[in-house]
Amino acid sequence: MKILIVEDYGPLRLSLARRLTEAGFVVQHTADGNEASWLLQEDTFALAVLDIMLPGRSGLDLLCDIRSRETDMAVLLTTARDAIEDRVQGLDLGADDYLVKPFALDEAMARVRALLRRRFGRSNPVLRIGDLSIDTVAREATRAGQRIDLTAKEFALLELLALRTGEIVSRGDVWEQLYDFNYERGASNVVDVFISNLRKKVDAPGWTPLIHTRRGQGYVLQTRSV
């Protein structure tokens, strides 16, 4: 899924972006509130990590913009240790959670995973569909007890489908959440290729198919055929 990081302290921004990217997320990041405002208008994100104190527009201003669009984007605020009033105001304005700086990257990753699960109405970090088990913390998938060897991008795609089990996920939804908006969207059938590769691993011979195609609509992960 796609995440926006808005943080003006370079080492923290780059470290968090690197950890999220290694975990299979697509990450856009900036140090400037004005640029972040533009990115939020031009792209679709599942979650935004917003520092409150920023050059240009503040994190609270960006939060107000996000909530005014009636989007279900999750928002994680980062604040200084003594900025209690800012944290209270941020939560009242619609932030989903906050982190007090300095914070450990492991904690940030755990908060991000929890917020993304909550966005899709899930609380258990292990998603189960039939005999398929997806551990969103360990970033591992197994089927009938057998580990499935997935790339980071393949796991991210499977996680997206699993979080929306039983729902049709359009090709556009897959593209928006798994690819950088600078990627040449119309140049290839990359989504179809990734779905095909994922299906070969998750729905290997001998296993009941779980990934189904709805022609002209998208893809759905569920135990029954469609």
pLDDT at 6: 98
222 vs 186, which has greater pLDDT? 222
Cα–Cα distance, 50 to 32 (Å, whole number): 11
Q: Mean pLDDT of all residues in the chain? A: 89
Cα–Cα distance, 56 to 80 (Å, whole number): 18
Percent of the chain with pLDDT over 70: 94
CATH of domain 126-221: 1.10.10.10
* CA 27 to each of CA 93, 123, 145, 200: distance values in angstroms, whole numbers, following the listed order: 24, 23, 32, 27
pLDDT at 49: 98
Span 172-220, pLDDT tens digits: 888 877 776 555 454 457 788 889 999 999 998 889 999 999 888 899 9
CATH of domain 2-119: 3.40.50.2300
In this structure, which amino acid lies at residue 143?
Answer: R
The full set of domain ranges for the chain reads: 2-119, 126-221
pLDDT band at 52 (very low <50, low <70, confident <90, very high): very high
Does residue 13 register a pLDDT over 80? Answer: yes
Cα–Cα distance, 136 to 125 (Å, whole number): 5
pLDDT at 187: 46
Span 147-163, pLDDT tens digits: 999 998 899 899 999 99
pLDDT at 162: 94
CA atoms within 13 A on the CB side of 23: 24
* 8 A C-beta contact, residue 75 and residue 94: yes
